[in-house]
Amino acid sequence: MGRSRRTLPEELLLLALDPTTGTTAQPQSLDLGLAGAQLVELALAGRIAPDGDRIAVVSPRPTGDPTLDCALELLRRRGAPVRAVHWIGGPRLGLRQTYLSHLERCGMVHAVAGQMCGVLPTTRYQATDTAISREIKARLDSAIRTGVPPDPRTAALAALAHAVGLGKHLYPGNEGRSSRSRLRDLIRHDPMGGLVAHAVMDVQNGAAAQPRRNPAQAGRQAGPGARTAPEPARGVPVQPHRSAMARVVAH
């Protein structure tokens, strides 16, 4: 994968970065969104593909992007397709910081050291070229305004922005209500982006959304006259992921 194109995690992070405060909007859900954006980027690169509600590796060949390749290798080690909701719900310490540091190395943001309450050290990130963020948002604005189906990359970005709750950050107030609604509707234009966005929202809602079995089929498997046991409550089982990423210091 060439580095002439910004990846979806980078674009999502730039959208979330507040140019005034240097902090990121929706920091908790943004971490989920970045993990989901990695999946979409790998799918666009032809390395993974959706398999129902699961993600399957179709080519383990490295992309050339170290962070994406780390995610690809972890998926490959699973040996079998993994449910998107389980992958996104697993902990990834420092993923946001990893991408912030990468954007800093690329010269798109610069770190500003500070203190919280005059004691705790903090790091905020200011965009060095706000034109890049404006160009990314302009793609969303165009898709919202024209109603023309966007390209898969823009559709996936819109789906992820909605899933992590950036709608109110990008289109605030009552005047932005219709834009937020149309941003949500763009989720249907990219199957992979839609799958990942729904997985992000499922994790936030604490529901894994297990696929339901056909009741008639379940009855046949249980035998004639057998009662079907009530379906258990669904949570998101957390599957740990090996990671040596640094502790997040940006908010």
Sequence-separated (6 or more) residues with CB below 8 Å from residue 242: 74
- pLDDT tens column, 132-170: 889 999 999 999 998 788 999 999 999 999 999 999 999
C-alpha to C-alpha distances, 44 to 34, 70, 120, 161, 165, nearest whole angstrom: 15, 16, 40, 18, 23
Mean pLDDT (the chain) is 80
pLDDT at 217: 40
Return the higher-pLDDT residue of 220 and 40. 40
Strand ranges in 45-170 using DSSP code E only, listed in sequence order? 48-51, 54-57, 82-83, 109-116, 120-127
- pLDDT tens column, 16-53: 988 777 788 888 799 999 999 999 999 999 999 999 99
Residue 239 banded pLDDT, cuts 50, 70, 90: very low
**By three-state DSSP, how is residue 17 classified?**
strand
